[in-house]
Amino acid sequence: MVGAGQLARMTHQAAIALGQSLRILADSPDDGAALVGADVVVGNFRSLDDLRAFAVGCDAVTFDHEHVPNAHIAALEADGVSVHPGSAALLYAQDKAAMRRKLAELGVPCPRWAPVASAADVNDFAELVGWPLVLKATRGGYDGKGVWVVESPAAAASLLATLTPSGLPAPASSEPDGGEVELIAEEKVTILRELAADVARSPFGQGAVWPVVETVQQDGICVEVIAPAPGLDEERAEQAQALALRIASELGVTGVLAVELFETPEGLLVNELAMRPHNSAHWTIEGARTSQFEQHLRAVLDYPLGSTAPTAPVIVMANLLGGPDDVTPKGIDERVHHLMAHWPDVKIHLYGKQFRPGRKVGHVTALGDDLADVRSRAQAAADYLMNGDRRG
């Protein structure tokens, strides 16, 4: 697995049960997965030489993030390396313009959009969809970074003026591409809530889908995932699942595909695609018969996929986002003690990261029969771990 963040860390856990050991390409020996893996190579995922050296002896190569240059992935494929997802599919998770174009071709419902290169382009698009609208960098965005809501022509012009390459926040554990920032504009749709339909697809073509979940966002970052999405109409849930399976198949995705959706008054619209284990399916570790990490490994190794049946009526995952202070390791440890004592059935996942404001340092999962109860336990446990006695 290229990349050594929490996704690789949790994939390694799943690999152990399958009798495998994950080889990990890390930026640094301190990366979350590098701290726990047996076969860690420190190297640069933007270097084709490093990628080629890393791939030698791997049964399959897969990814913890979308930032590996697509041309390098194609070069590995040309070398005969089994890469999943492949470059042709991954492009649609790397480039939002390519993704929107492809989904339009397939007739998949999306917000209206247009590529834009100037303030004039944005104003033209605004004629069609009105203000405010959304500007997105086509590449390198994540967790709300690389996405801007602009209210007026003046705001759009001002943003465009600042969007030099150095103006775009660098993606996690990587350097910016160094090229020009390319943008698309999207209409700002009325969002009732956000959903995710997570599926896996193997090279053989087998697909498997987990229950559709609600992803609760705060400031563009997912803070909570509720499985299954509460009160979601069965027909709409099946529509979302079928859509995700169809996208996986039409795009030739191998591995896990997360389809982030907006639920709007007019129906479901696709927001983003991710082709790797995804935050919206962390609940599957305890909450589904097969976790997304095991399923991703099964898929990229072309094993038959596992059962996606849920293990409880309600499963809630809450992200651990670093609070405003610099808590000491001892302080965190004390909070873990309290959390374990208060909520003996809440499961903790820590990613081996330093706590920093807003940083995803782990998650917790609660399960049960009653939505309000399960949510409140997950939220309270996460809040306590992040904020200690300062919690509300």
Point out which residues bind a copy of itself (CB under 8 A): 9-10, 12-13, 15-19, 21, 34-38, 40, 289-290, 298, 303-307, 309, 311-312, 336-337, 340-341, 344-345, 347-352, 362, 367
- CA gap 113, 289 in Å, rounded: 38
Cβ closest to a copy of itself, residue 266 vs residue 345 = 345
d(CA 392, CA 251): 45
Distance CA 160, CA 153 (A): 11
220 forms bridges with which residues in the sheet? none
Question: Which residues sit opposite 360 in a β-bridge?
Answer: 321
Q: How far is CA 195 from CA 40, 178, 226, 270, in A?
A: 35, 33, 9, 9
CB of 62 to a copy of itself, least distance (A): 18
> Which region, left, alpha or beta, applies to residue 130 given φ > 0 means left and ψ of -120 to 50 means alpha?
left
Q: Which of 105, 135, 92 is nearest to 117 (CA)?
A: 135
Closest CB 118 distance from a copy of itself, rounded Å:
47
Cα dist from 222 to 129, 195, 255, 278, 321, whole Å: 26, 11, 22, 11, 10
Q: Which of 364, 156, 318 is nearest to 221 (CA)?
A: 318
Shortest gap between Cβ of 349 and a copy of itself (angstroms)? 5
Question: Least CB distance from residue 327 to a copy of itself, whole Å?
Answer: 13
CB closer to a copy of itself, 21 vs 218:
21
In the bound complex, what is the minimum distance in angstroms from residue 286's beta carbon to a copy of itself? 8
Residue 277 beta carbon to a copy of itself: minimum distance, rounded to whole angstroms: 14
Q: Which residue number, 12 or 100, has a Cβ lying nearer to a copy of itself?
A: 12
d(CA 363, CA 356): 15
Please say which residue, 173 or 206, places its beta carbon nearer to a copy of itself: 206
- Could you tell me the two tokens for 101? 């174009």
Compute and round to an integer the Cα radius of gyration of the chain: 21
In the bound complex, what is the minimum distance in angstroms from residue 40's beta carbon to a copy of itself?
A: 7
